[in-house]
Amino acid sequence: MPEYLMIISGEPTLSLVIWFFVSIFILYLARIPAHMIIRSLFNALYSGFRMISRALLAMAYGVAARNRAVLIEAGREAAERRLEREFMRMDTALKRDLGNYPTLHRELQEKINLLETDYKEATEEQPPNIEGWEKAIQAVSKIPSKGSTMVADVLDNINDSFNDTHKDLVNEYQKVNKERHKILGRMIPTVRTIQKLMEQVDKNIREMSNRAREVGKYMDDFKEMLARSDKAESMLSSSALHQFVISGLVMGIAIGGAIVNFALIEGPMREMVSGDQYIYGIPMSNIAAFVIIMIEIAMGLFLMELLGVTRMFPGISSVDDKMRKRLMWTAFIILLTLALIEMSLGYSRHAISELKTTTDPTADKVALDGMLSLIPRLGQMVMGFILPFALVFIAIPMEAFVHALLIILRTLSVTLIKFLAFTVRLIALLFKHLGTIMVTVYDLVIIVPLWLESLILRRGVYETKPSKSKKKASATR
């Protein structure tokens, strides 16, 4: 123990005991202010952390609301684009297939009615009409024959004439019917053609009906987006996750193609660009090859944007059609030029590798194998020309990937902020209960004075009770 703390010189233990009792006494005297300080301090910490927790929750709700608004707006735009595309398809189909449908239907119906009328008239069998023969036969039958051979001869002549005339009429009738049947037979292909045409029209109508049902589904989705319902949000969230996975896989494939493209042109670029130059430890040839690939991807993005396939740059959509076509052709020409450059680099890559092997002792073998080098050389040229155009289509999955990634990041940020708010709220509760624990520990340190205080107070209560009872008794007397 230091000398300045020694109350009794040469008695450190006794001095320590005295200091202990003095400290206990001082703590006992400062009990109420100490309790107030402890409670105030920990209540302040509890309130502060609770306010932080509320602020984090408010931030989480704000981010969630913003994410919901962005998600619904993106879904509304996608639904609007689908509706616009379907309406354009329906308009094209209507102009192509059903534009002249009323006139066509009327003409077809008239022809069908005419064919039916002709067919009915041709198939109705009318008996031959022999005018005057019935009256003549009745008049002859009334002539009294009385065994006269002259009347019998007249009747026989009449019968023969009637039979001959009947045969001629029947033959004429059958001939006319055959001619009409031949005419109808020639009309059968026309009828079948009309039937096929009507079936095609009916098929077009069914297709339009199916497309109308699809438009109805898209309209229901569009109404859900406008209503900002929970169903639309959950549907868009699941769709965003699905797009993130699928577009991520496609992006991985595209990155693999870019790596192959880089490996294809990196060797020739080393010969074109000085291989001794480095930028931050990276060879200049690698940087040049990487820049060429990035320019190809950028031209592909602009080309897809100008074609209206993607909508990543809002400023491009405001450009008029004439300028859009000019920019589109400019991007395509730049892309075609880069593809031709890569094709030449692919050709020179194989030539450079052959030149490097000329110093090899097996030069005769190389010369012999050079007859078969045309296939890999052509393959490298074709790859160098096709890969830049293949990288153009990376814009489609990139747009979906970026959109889905932003949605997922916002969702994860909301979850993270809520977790932080829960953690801060838990810390606030710990501080609140820790203040109560500290007050209890403080009272445990001075438990002896507190016990004596409670004992004295209990005795004072017991002494005051008999005196009060005596006063009541004297008052009753």
Each domain of the chain, given as residue ranges in start order, spans 38-70+229-358+372-465, 98-130+151-227
C-alpha distances in angstroms, 259 versus 283, 286, 340, 393?
16, 12, 18, 16
332 or 169, higher pLDDT: 332
| C-alpha span between 264 and 221 (Å, rounded) | 47
pLDDT at 120: 65
98 or 438, higher pLDDT: 438
**b/e map 129-158, b = 16+ CB within 10 Å:** eeeeeeeeeeeeeeeeeeeeeeeeeeeeee
CB of 346 closer than 8 Å to CB of 383: yes
Count CB atoms within 10 A of the CB of residue 159. 12
Coil, helix or strand for 446?
coil
User: Does 118 have pLDDT greater than 80?
Assistant: no
Q: Which amino acid is at 212?
A: A
| C-alpha span between 271 and 285 (Å, rounded) | 8
CB of 420 closer than 8 Å to CB of 31: no
Token pair belonging to 71? 């998600």
What digits encode the pLDDT tens for the residues 401-416? 888 888 888 888 989 9
pLDDT at 423: 93
CB of 374 closer than 8 Å to CB of 280: no
Mean pLDDT of 305-321: 80
pLDDT at 249: 92
Mean residue pLDDT of the chain comes to 76
Nearest to 284 by CA among 272, 273, 295: 273
What digits encode the pLDDT tens for the residues 182-221? 766 666 766 777 777 777 777 777 777 777 777 777 777 6
User: Does 419 have pLDDT greater than 90?
Assistant: yes
What digits encode the pLDDT tens for the residues 64-93? 888 888 777 777 777 777 777 777 777 776
What digits encode the pLDDT tens for the residues 287-311? 888 888 999 899 988 888 888 888 8
User: Does 368 have pLDDT greater than 50?
Assistant: no
Mean pLDDT of 384-402: 88
Q: Which amino acid is at 84?
A: E
Residue 292 is given by DSSP the state H
Tell me the pLDDT band of 366, cut-offs 50, 70 and 90. Answer: very low
Mean pLDDT of 446-467: 73
pLDDT at 52: 92
17 or 124, higher pLDDT: 17
| Report field, pTM of the whole predicted structure over 0.75 | no
User: Does 124 have pLDDT greater than 80?
Assistant: no
Mean pLDDT of 22-44: 86
pLDDT at 439: 87
Determine what percent of the chain is predicted with pLDDT higher than 90: 9
C-alpha distances in angstroms, 283 versus 266, 286, 352?
10, 5, 19
CB of 79 closer than 8 Å to CB of 218: yes
Q: Which amino acid is at 269?
A: M
Tell me the pLDDT band of 145, cut-offs 50, 70 and 90. Answer: low
| C-alpha span between 413 and 433 (Å, rounded) | 30
Rounded to 5 degrees, what are φ and ψ at 282? -105, 130
Beta strands in 74-113 (DSSP E): none
User: Does 27 have pLDDT greater than 60?
Assistant: yes
